[in-house]
Structure 1
Amino acid sequence: MALALCLLFDSRTDRLVRELWERLEARGIRTLLTHTHGRHHPHLSYAVLRAWDADAVAAAVAGLPDGGAVEVSVQGSLVFPRGRVSFACSVSADLAARQERGVAALTSTGADLHWHYATGRWVPHVSVATGASADQLSVVTAAVSDVLPLTLQCDRAALIDSSTGEVWPLDGVP
């Protein structure tokens, strides 16, 4: 069970990611489209919590400043352990500062932050495949290359429970 502070995408970007997931699923490659509960949203996570107090977290993120929509450039793919493949997202100074503010707000509540999202350790990414075999990696990276370069339009944000897919939209974009 995990709770994530996520950037969500405009309708064009959301559709592009979902279409990529569909193409990969048609080739037998698992994506967030069918992973676990099947209610996943294309997103970029600022932070993932392993334990938290829901009321404290909600209050903390409500206090984050609205930075407005943000563009994130994608120039390639990342391959993580266990066949996870993602868009490799650029880290502008603005995006890094937003993520650091989010982490500071969340950890100030006593929440248990997954160490991959700690300041200085965060690798911004958008999930493409959730479990590609070694033989499938070239298919996934070719599919990613076919949509690059890409600019993600992040115009919304939410807290998302990854175990259920439940979404709590935020009023602004931290």
Structure 2
Amino acid sequence: MALAVCLLFDPATERRLRALWRRLEDAGIHTLASHTHGRHHPHLSYAVLRAWDLEAVREAVDALPDGGPVTLRCHGTVVFPRGRAALAPAVTADVSRRQESVTAALVATGADLHRNYAPGAWVPHVSVATRAPGAKLLAVVEAVADVLPMPLTVDRAAIIDSGTGQLWPLAAIP
């Protein structure tokens, strides 16, 4: 599977995102709530790795400065191939710099960074639907529109193995 460095949300934001997942699941649309092992957390990934040395990754990310909590604002939906849909948060220049620092630190460990997370290619997103066929995408967009604008408050970060759901909390928010 993959290893990701993720921003995680405060309890109120996580409740709102999980409620959106439930609404979509009730409409027959797959979300992270039912995807693979079912242990997914609402998150925004700074980086996704296809190959890595876990200890080297943990050391590299732990060495990055603490950027502190941040609030992002979502005003729309982004749709990716194969029926994947997500909230599209606006990010500040500071958050973009943080993402670039994280990816540079990870690449320096020899990790294989997924091409969609390379600086200049990163599309910040918070996954909502994992497999929505074309006919159901309208329902996804409508469900998201009903909760917009949505502030997302980041209050922690973690390294997460997407294959197992195992999470390693970070001491700081890079």
TM-score of Structure 1 vs Structure 2, range by shorter chain = over 0.9
Detail structure 1 runs of 4+ shifted over 6 Å in the superposition. none
Residue 85 of structure 2: aligned partner: 85
CA–CA distance in structure 2, aligned partners of residues 133 and 52 of structure 1: 33
Tell me which amino acid in the other structure corresponds to 1:3.
L
The RMSD of aligned alpha carbons is: 0.5
CA–CA distance in structure 2, aligned partners of residues 171 and 120 of structure 1: 27
CA–CA distance in structure 1, aligned partners of residues 89 and 64 of structure 2: 23
The offset of 1:91, in angstroms, is 2.2
Matched position secondary structure for 1:99: helix
Residue 67 of structure 2: aligned partner: 67
CA–CA distance in structure 2, aligned partners of residues 59 and 134 of structure 1: 42
Q: Deviations over 1:48-103 (max 9, x none)?
A: 00000111101001101001001111010000000000001112101101100100
CA–CA distance in structure 1, aligned partners of residues 173 and 72 of structure 2: 13
Residue 121 of structure 1: aligned partner: 121
Tell me which amino acid in the other structure corresponds to 1:11.
P
Q: Which runs of 5+ in 1 are unaligned?
A: none
Tell me which amino acid in the other structure corresponds to 2:30.
R
Residue 143 of structure 1: aligned partner: 143
CA–CA distance in structure 2, aligned partners of residues 172 and 91 of structure 1: 19
Q: Deviations over 1:105-132 (max 9, x none)?
A: 1110000000000011000000000000
TM-score normalised per structure 2: 0.99
Tell me which amino acid in the other structure corresponds to 2:151.
T
TM-score normalised per structure 1: 0.99
Tell me which amino acid in the other structure corresponds to 1:167.
L
Q: Which runs of 5+ in 2 are unaligned?
A: none
Matched position secondary structure for 1:173: coil
Residue 58 of structure 1: aligned partner: 58
Residue 24 of structure 1: aligned partner: 24
* Percent identity (aligned): 62
The offset of 1:150, in angstroms, is 1.0
How many residues of Structure 1 are paired with residues of Structure 2 in the alignment? 174
